[in-house]
Amino acid sequence: MKLNDFYLELGQLTEQSVTTLATSFDALPPNPYMDGAFRLRRYSHFQFTDNQLERLPTKAFVQADNINSYQGNVERVYPEIEETIVNTAAFSEMFHNFKQMAGVDDSTPIEVHQMRIIVGQDAITETAPEGVHQDGFNRLAVFVIERKNICGGEIRVHADKESAPFVSHAFDKGEFVVLNDARFWHSANAIEAANDDNAHMDVFVLTA
């Protein structure tokens, strides 16, 4: 599939996959970088060929400052996503959907960010502190596994950086969007706690 042949597509993981993936977010480690006050994170990259995952060697994650105005040109090394989750059918389901919907070639590495965005009482947390942005890839998918005790956090898709979103939805329980990151822009509303309990939003972001 050519780059401009694909626009975006919405989807839903199976209920069983959501249950399996949700458990792994409780083990996310502290994040030493600038977003560490409100994001816990793991990062890995893979190839997915013939429905088989191959983990690729650990590497630093870095974005140019013209892509990421919040913490661009910073080499960030995060712990790998745990093998106990990587080896599940639920994890592979995300890759299968991403590749099929977006036309990702077998030889293309796929990067995966696992994040918990946390918010304290009487606080507002910027889900996407860089605002309306692109991630610098050709394909991007956001899988929202759980929204717990939060208000806000709608994932938004824009035709360009200055335009109002034409998609705005509080994705939850395995709902996801796959989009052409070179063609569209995306953002997310800030989140705040809905009550006194633990408040967070758990997401996987896949890029290729």
Residue-by-residue pLDDT tens, the chain, 208 positions: 555 679 999 999 999 999 999 999 999 998 877 665 788 999 999 999 998 999 999 787 654 455 544 454 457 788 999 999 999 999 999 999 999 999 999 989 999 999 999 987 778 888 888 889 998 899 999 999 999 999 999 999 999 999 999 999 999 999 999 999 999 999 999 999 998 778 999 999 999 9
- CATH number of the domain that residue 135 is part of: 2.60.120.620
Q: Cα–Cα distance between 97 and 83 in angstroms, integer? A: 20
Range of the domain at 142: 3-207
Number of domains, the chain = 1
Within 10 angstroms of residue 13's Cβ, the number of other Cβ atoms is 22
